[in-house]
Amino acid sequence: MRTISNLSDILSNVDALLLDQFGVLHDGHAAFPGAIECVEALHSRGLPLVALSNSGRRAKLNMDRLVRLGFPSAAFKAMVTSGELTRYDLVSRLSDGRLKSGSSILILARGNDTSLLDGLELQVAELGDDVQLVIISGAEPETHSRDDYNRLLSPLARAGVPAICANPDTSIYTGEGSAFGPGVVAEDYIAAGGTIDYFGKPSAAMFEAGLEALGQRDPSRCLMVGDSLHHDILGGRNAGCQSLLITSGVQAGLVEEGVVPDFAMDQLRF
């Protein structure tokens, strides 16, 4: 692993970049110092960028947030999220009959966001409904404990209701620092006897979607920038990409045995 001070130090061997959102570009509330300027500098040099995120929300909502935080939308060829991949999966389940029209879906999300179901013949579960599928796309540790989620979900897990984890991150940013993420809620669902389908990094499908959005034919010339050894660095390495770990991110302190990035720096800086 090589520690660098500036991203420009290694760009001679890079044709395109995949950029994680949380922990690299922003903390959910504000852009990190230097991040907007770095994105602008990369764009001005003609380097294709794709934001690759484990957000359980749809791609447009995430891109809209980047713009609100000051990032230029023109700099990004695409936003690829695990929420968008989940949306594709819901369409597939409706098409092949795994989900029936009108099925009741329980969605756990920040801000009660149910946009994953917009335009689909599915309904958001209400109290007393016969739930056919659970979607864990976000967690709100500020107001709900792990025990709260367990009390809600354990009966469904024991009853054999399948679930999707649309955001496998185990830690997230809150206004008071880091806290447990939806990936932890999904782990508890499995521990209670349930089954989970995961969408997001480090899965091959997520990186295939990111590379396709870049139009990048040679992954070895693509740099994955992230703060998670498990989600970003491992996933990028398995996809054949170079990798850069941002060591100040919320997930950078988590250990992943045997996973070493090609490069490391304290924060995104051109």
178's enclosing H/E stretch is: strand 177-180
3-class SS of residue 217: coil
Angle at 87 between CA 82 and CA 90, to 5 degrees: 125
Secondary structure letter of residue 8 according to DSSP: G
Angle at 80 between CA 20 and CA 84, to 5 degrees: 130
Q: Estimate the crossing angle of helix 82-96 against helix 59-68, to 10 degrees.
A: 160
The predicted structure's pLDDT at residue 178? 79
Superfamily assignment of 2-54+202-265 in CATH? HAD superfamily/HAD-like (3.40.50.1000)
Secondary structure letter of residue 31 according to DSSP: B
CA distances from 127 to 105, 131, 163 (A): 11, 10, 18
Sequence-separated (6 or more) residues with CB below 8 Å from residue 250: 22, 23, 27, 171, 172, 173, 178, 227
CATH architecture, domain defined by 99-198: 3-Layer(aba) Sandwich (3.40)
Q: Dihedrals φ, ψ of 87, to 5°?
A: -60, -45
Averaged over successive runs of 10 residues, the pLDDT of the chain (270 residues) comes to 94 96 91 97 97 94 96 97 96 96 95 93 91 96 94 96 94 78 96 96 95 90 95 95 89 72 95
The predicted structure's pLDDT at residue 223? 97
Q: Give the CA radius of gyration of the chain.
A: 19
The predicted structure's pLDDT at residue 250? 66
Specify the pairing of strand 177-180 against strand 171-174: antiparallel
Contact in structure between 160 and 131 (CB atoms under 8 Å) = no
Predicted TM-score (pTM) of the model is: 0.89
Q: Which two tokens stand for residue 258?
A: 């045997």
The predicted structure's pLDDT at residue 253? 63
Cα(133)–Cα(163) distance, integer angstroms? 6
Q: Give the amino acid at 194.
A: G
Question: 170-180 as b/e, with b when 16 or more CB fall inside 10 Å?
Answer: bbbbbeeebbb
99-198: same fold as 2-54+202-265?
yes
Q: Domain coordinates of the chain in residue numbers?
A: 2-54+202-265, 99-198
